[in-house]
């Protein structure tokens, strides 16, 4: 049975612990901003205009996706450290149900991703001058991508027993999601340069789905891609449900053992 108050308490605790990483977050913000205002700006001058007319505006929504992804992923590291130090025994001794604990952790990841990404969304709105109601949809995308990535991160952190192996698996997954997505390259290039199965994986990667949705909302005038908003939202919802279920089941299994 999931209790709302205990879930919120657990999530609030995770949010408070998020500020513990403020120095790391400052570095991450610097990296995301440097990607946008240095990397994207310089690449705008060298990317062929027939492929991407304006690389700066093409990359900006992708940076927003990566921002939510990276922040939501931090929760997995914490779960991993708690299991290492046996801190989960204390969490289990609290007068809250295991279901509330698990859902609270996932909610904590969502809140982290959302809070971290919000300034990037504001920046995106300012850069593109978007004022439509679709901005609300962008916030929904942020919630969904944060939920799916924090759940994936929790799932990976509880997948194997060896802690070093856990860190390696998490990092490799992180890199794979990062590079095998459409953040840096448009759909037509992915289609022509990757074999069909890999193409399908890349365009259906949750980060790609979120990025495509942001692109439709904020920068649809830069490059037309063959995606429909409703299909993308459906895919993202399905990803979120699947990953939340996986994360919750694996975390729960590990808490029991």
Kindly list the residues in this chain that would bind another protein in the complex (CB under 8 A).
Answer: 23-24, 26-28, 30-31, 33-35, 38-39, 41-43, 45-48, 51-52, 164-165, 167-168, 171-172, 175-176, 178-180, 184-185, 189-190, 193-194
Burial class for 178, CB neighbours closer than 10 Å (0-12, 13-18, 19+): middle
Burial class for 189, CB neighbours closer than 10 Å (0-12, 13-18, 19+): middle
Burial class for 19, CB neighbours closer than 10 Å (0-12, 13-18, 19+): exposed
Nearer to another protein, 193 or 228 (CB): 193
77 in Cβ contact with 150 (< 8 Å):
no
Nearer to another protein, 48 or 256 (CB): 48
In whole angstroms, the minimum distance from the beta carbon of 216 to another protein comes to 21
Nearer to another protein, 24 or 87 (CB): 24
**Which among 3, 250, 25, 229 is positioned nearest to 150, based on CA atoms?**
250
In whole angstroms, the minimum distance from the beta carbon of 31 to another protein comes to 4
**Sign of the CA dihedral with 93 first, then 96, 98, and 101 last:** negative
Nearer to another protein, 50 or 230 (CB): 50
In whole angstroms, the minimum distance from the beta carbon of 171 to another protein comes to 4
In whole angstroms, the minimum distance from the beta carbon of 206 to another protein comes to 18
In whole angstroms, the minimum distance from the beta carbon of 47 to another protein comes to 5
31 in Cβ contact with 39 (< 8 Å):
no
Interatomic CA distance for residues 178 and 24, integer angstroms: 19
Interatomic CA distance for residues 95 and 101, integer angstroms: 10
Nearer to another protein, 69 or 185 (CB): 185
Nearer to another protein, 61 or 186 (CB): 186
- What the block records as the tokens of 239 is 């990803």
Nearer to another protein, 143 or 180 (CB): 180
Rama region for 52: left / alpha / beta (φ>0; ψ in -120 to 50; rest): beta
In whole angstroms, the minimum distance from the beta carbon of 102 to another protein comes to 27
In whole angstroms, the minimum distance from the beta carbon of 66 to another protein comes to 13
Count Cα atoms within 13 angstroms, Cβ side, for 60: 26
């Amino acid at each position: 049975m999931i209790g709302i108050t205990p879930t919120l308490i657990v999530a609030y605790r995770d949010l408070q612990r998020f500020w513990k990483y403020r120095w790391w977050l400052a570095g991450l913000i610097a990296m995301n901003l440097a990607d946008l205002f240095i990397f994207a700006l310089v690449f705008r001058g060298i990317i062929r205009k027939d492929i991407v007319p304006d690389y700066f505006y093409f990359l900006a929504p992708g940076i927003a996706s990566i921002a939510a992804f990276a922040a939501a992923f931090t929760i997995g590291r914490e779960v991993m450290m708690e299991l290492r130090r046996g801190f989960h025994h204390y969490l289990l001794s609290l007068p809250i149900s295991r279901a509330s604990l698990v859902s609270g952790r996932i909610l904590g990841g969502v809140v982290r991703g959302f809070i971290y990404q919000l300034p990037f969304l504001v920046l995106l709105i300012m850069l593109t001058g978007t004022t439509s109601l679709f901005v609300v949809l962008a916030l929904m995308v942020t919630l969904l991508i944060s939920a799916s990535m924090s759940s994936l991160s929790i799932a990976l952190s509880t997948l194997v027993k060896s802690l070093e192996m856990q860190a390696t698996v998490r990092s490799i997954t992180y890199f794979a999601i990062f590079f095998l997505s459409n953040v840096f390259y448009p759909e037509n290039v992915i289609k022509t340069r990757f074999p069909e199965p890999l193409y399908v994986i890349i365009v259906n990667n949750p980060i790609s789905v979120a990025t495509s949705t942001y692109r439709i909302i904020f920068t649809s005038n830069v490059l037309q891609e063959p995606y429909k908003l409703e299909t993308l939202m459906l895919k993202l919802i399905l990803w979120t449900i699947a990953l939340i279920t996986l994360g919750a089941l694996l975390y729960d299994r590990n808490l029991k053992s």
